[in-house]
């Protein structure tokens, strides 16, 4: 009997132990974890002088530095996250910032800087170079950038706010923890107390929300610990945005580029203008880059300017690199002394010849020239603003591959952006229209919607030329009569022809002309000497389709390439759509 009791007691004890073990496991499984995240790891801090960086709703992988109580952020992070206006000249070790009327210039390792020939001082080193990276003092960045920041310790990390307006926030019902991931076993980043405020970032699921704590930790918290989210408006009344004033004409621009290769060509202006209607601006291609020191050649002519002014036509001198492809534009534009020499040379010509504006046509840049190019536009805009000159900039249709031209930044400081909405097709590998209406629409939309170019700053470039595609049958082949030619059956060559020349070719060769709705153009085809020729014509019909887009998008006007290539009936079409 006793033996049975002992056995029963033993069994019950074992069951009790198992139940206790299971209960402990269950409690452990459903109880919040207490492990804490190593915060140096969280902020990617490996050295004592490093500072973690949180900007708005993102914790950056990169770190800043702290020196003598001042926070420093590396140059690339500043440009990518805070302000693209800073420019570091790596050759001359200068930090620059272009304001509307002056250029701020700082030498490395200095606590003073120059602005409009005035020296100013601050109680810290403004920027320094460490391991080939430039670091800029956050207090200096704040002088020119709409930000607020707070620095926290253990470890050092800075929270920067740079977006203003409506934000969603909530207070805590009770004490809780913000965790690295959504789950009670995830490591704790920071503890938050009842009535503390957190900023809502993302609604992960019905149980967890992604939030930012007041001291800059981004992680997850249980929704049941939060009161309802409410909207809060955050502002920065301490910062005043600089105003980059622009010249805006009170009429629609009817502009023509005038290609000038030699001084004799200046004498043709009277004859060329005589055939136009409503023309109010000409852009002669007078100034060309000639070296990496910032020198230019000039074909400017006083009598040309006087004639135009006497006929109420403004003259905007063009500066271009198109005719001197051997000049290293990356080197010219990236080095401050060369870039400023170029600007000074341009301005000297503009003042000497009483020009009304400057037109920049810098083409075929490589991506590494992008930052120097935008700094050139910014610095040139200062000089133009100071002298009352219009600044216009020629641009390709924006695509990812040419995004370094940074049209958005151009539009902030230039008076007009001129969309060269042509050269859609130029290679024998891909014959087609120079400027189909869909290509034009793509360019306009990319400028206005994707790059924030105001419509009243956007000028549409129109082609007064086309390309004549020649299809010569390969050996043993013949000419197809089908509507579409198979490129594989032909050797293809191409010639650029003016609007006048193309229409003469149509007449002389009795070409078959068919309207192509998809292109908004007439397509001409004719046979000559065993080859087939095709042209997507730029004529009154195609120009009218483009002008409809100018009017419907309320653009600033048009500029045509180039003066002298046109049929005179084109001006009636252009002026019809430029009337207010």
Q: What CATH number should be reported for the domain holding residue 222?
A: 2.30.30.40
Strands 557-561 and 357-361, sheet pairing: unpaired
- 227 in the same domain as 123: no
What's the CATH code of the domain at 570? 3.20.20.80
Q: Tens-digit pLDDT profile for the chain (580 aa)?
A: 566 666 666 676 677 665 555 554 544 445 789 999 999 999 999 999 999 999 999 999 999 999 999 999 999 999 999 999 999 999 999 999 999 999 999 999 999 999 988 999 999 999 999 999 999 999 999 999 999 999 999 999 999 999 999 999 999 999 999 999 999 999 999 999 999 999 999 987 889 999 999 999 999 999 999 999 999 999 999 999 999 999 999 999 999 999 999 999 999 999 999 999 999 999 999 999 999 999 999 999 999 999 999 999 999 999 999 999 999 999 999 999 999 999 999 999 999 999 999 999 999 999 999 999 999 999 999 999 999 999 999 999 999 999 999 999 999 999 999 999 999 999 999 999 999 999 999 999 999 999 999 999 999 999 999 999 999 999 877 777 676 888 899 999 999 999 999 999 999 999 999 999 999 999 999 999 999 999 999 999 999 999 999 999 999 999 999 999 999 999 999 999 998 6
State the DSSP string of 345-359.
Answer: HHHHHHHHTT-SEEE
- 423 in the same domain as 277: yes
Cα 103 from Cα 111, distance rounded (Å):
17
Helix (H) or strand (E) holding 104: strand 103-107
Tell whether 242 is covered by a domain. Answer: no
- 406 in the same domain as 348: yes
CB atoms within 10 A of CB 267: 12
Q: Could you give the strand order of the β-sheet that contains 157-161, starting from the edge strand earlier in sequence? A: 127-130, 133-137, 70-74, 58-67, 50-55, 157-161, 148-152
CB hemisphere CA count around 60 (13 angstroms): 22
Alpha-carbon Rg of the chain, whole angstroms?
33
CB atoms within 10 A of CB 542: 29
- 415 in the same domain as 317: yes
Range of the domain at 78: 41-159
Note the Cα 354 to chain centre separation in Å: 32
User: Which of helix, strand or coil describes residue 568?
Assistant: coil
pTM of the model: 0.92
Q: Where are the beta strands (DSSP E) in 348-456?
A: 357-361, 390-395, 416-420
- 169 in the same domain as 155: no
- 219 in the same domain as 295: no
Which residue, of 111, 129, 159, is where some domain finishes?
159
Cα 87 from Cα 369, distance rounded (Å):
13
- 63 in the same domain as 78: yes
Q: Is 237 left (phi over 0), alpha (psi -120 to 50) or beta?
A: alpha
Residues 107 and 121: beta-carbon distance below 8 Å = no
- 376 in the same domain as 291: yes
Task: Please count the structural domains in the chain.
Answer: 3
User: Which of helix, strand or coil describes residue 53?
Assistant: strand
Strands 465-473 and 458-463, sheet pairing: unpaired
Which residue, of 207, 234, 261, is where some domain finishes?
234
- 176 in the same domain as 298: no
Phi, psi for residue 327 in degrees, rounded to 5: -75, 125
Cα 410 from Cα 449, distance rounded (Å):
15
- 548 in the same domain as 450: yes
Cα 567 from Cα 559, distance rounded (Å):
15
Tell whether 247 is covered by a domain. Answer: no
The reported pLDDT for the residue numbered 141 is: 98
Tell whether 45 is covered by a domain. Answer: yes
Phi, psi for residue 430 in degrees, rounded to 5: -150, 70
**Which value, to the nearest 10 degrees, does the dihedral of the CA atoms of residues 113, 115, 116, 117 take?**
-10
Q: CA dist 59 to 56, 197, 205, 306, 339, Å?
A: 8, 19, 21, 60, 36
For tokens 């030619």, name the residue: 485
- Burial group, residue 20, by CB count within 10 angstroms (0-12, 13-18, 19+): exposed
Please calculate the CA angle 554-558-564 and round it to the nearest 5 degrees: 160
Which residue, of 130, 159, 188, is where some domain finishes?
159
- 258 in the same domain as 225: no
Q: CA dist 465 to 44, 564, 565, Å?
A: 57, 10, 7
Cα 192 from Cα 178, distance rounded (Å):
7
CB atoms within 10 A of CB 570: 24
């Amino acid at each position: 009997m006793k033996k049975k009791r002992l056995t029963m007691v033993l069994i019950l004890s074992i069951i009790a132990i198992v139940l206790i073990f299971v209960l402990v496991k269950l409690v452990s499984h459903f109880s919040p974890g207490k492990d804490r995240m190593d915060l140096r790891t969280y902020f990617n801090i490996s050295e004592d002088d490093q500072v973690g960086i949180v900007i708005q709703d993102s914790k950056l992988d990169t770190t800043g530095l702290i020196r003598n109580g001042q926070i420093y952020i590396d140059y690339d992070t500043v440009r990518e996250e805070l302000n693209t206006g800073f420019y570091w000249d790596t050759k001359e070790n200068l930090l620059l910032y272009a304001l509307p009327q002056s250029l701020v210039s700082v030498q490395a390792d200095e606590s003073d800087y120059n602005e409009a020939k005035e020296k100013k001082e601050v109680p810290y080193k403004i920027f320094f170079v460490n391991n080939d990276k430039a670091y800029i003092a956050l207090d200096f960045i704040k002088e020119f950038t709409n930000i607020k920041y707070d620095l926290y310790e253990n470890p050092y990390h800075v929270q920067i706010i740079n977006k203003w307006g409506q934000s969603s926030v909530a207070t805590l019902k009770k004490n809780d923890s913000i965790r690295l991931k959504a789950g009670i076993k995830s490591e704790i980043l920071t503890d938050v107390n009842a009535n503390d405020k957190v900023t809502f970032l993302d609604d992960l699921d019905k149980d967890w929300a992604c939030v930012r704590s007041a001291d800059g930790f981004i992680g997850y918290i249980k929704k049941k610990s939060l009161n309802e989210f409410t909207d809060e408006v955050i502002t920065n009344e301490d910062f005043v945005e600089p105003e980059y004033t622009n010249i805006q004409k009170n009429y629609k621009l009817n502009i023509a580029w005038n290609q000038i290769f030699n001084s004799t060509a200046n004498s043709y202006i009277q004859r060329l203008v005589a055939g136009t209607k409503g023309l109010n601006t000409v852009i002669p291609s007078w100034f060309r880059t000639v070296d990496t020191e910032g020198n230019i050649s000039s074909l400017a002519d006083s009598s040309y300017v006087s004639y135009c002014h006497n006929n109420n036509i403004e003259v905007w001198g063009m500066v271009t690199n198109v005719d001197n492809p051997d000049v290293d534009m990356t080197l010219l534009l990236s080095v401050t002394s060369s870039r400023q020499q170029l600007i000074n040379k341009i301005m000297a010509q503009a003042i000497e010849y009483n020009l009304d504006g400057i037109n920049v046509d810098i083409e075929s840049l490589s991506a590494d020239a992008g930052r120097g190019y935008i700094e050139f536009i910014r610095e040139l805009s200062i000089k133009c603003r100071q002298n009352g000159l219009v600044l216009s900039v020629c641009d390709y249709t924006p695509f990812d591959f040419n995004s370094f031209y940074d049209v958005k930044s151009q539009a902030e400081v230039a008076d007009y952006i001129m969309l060269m909405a042509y050269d859609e097709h130029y290679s024998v590998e891909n014959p087609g229209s120079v400027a189909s209406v869909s290509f034009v629409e793509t360019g306009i939309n990319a400028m206005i919607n994707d790059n924030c170019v105001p419509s009243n700053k956007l000028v549409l470039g129109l082609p007064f030329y086309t390309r004549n595609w020649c299809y010569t049958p390969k050996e043993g082949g013949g000419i197809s009569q089908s509507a579409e030619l198979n490129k594989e059956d032909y050797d293809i060559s191409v010639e650029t022809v003016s609007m006048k020349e193309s229409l003469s070719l149509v007449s002389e060769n009795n070409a078959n002309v068919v309207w192509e709705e998809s292109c908004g153009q007439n397509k001409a085809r004719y046979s000559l000497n065993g080859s087939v020729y095709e042209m997507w014509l730029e004529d009154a019909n195609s120009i009218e389709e483009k002008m409809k887009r100018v009017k419907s998008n309320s653009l600033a006007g048009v500029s045509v390439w180039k003066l002298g290539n046109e049929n005179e009936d084109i001006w009636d079409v252009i002026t019809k759509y430029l009337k207010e």
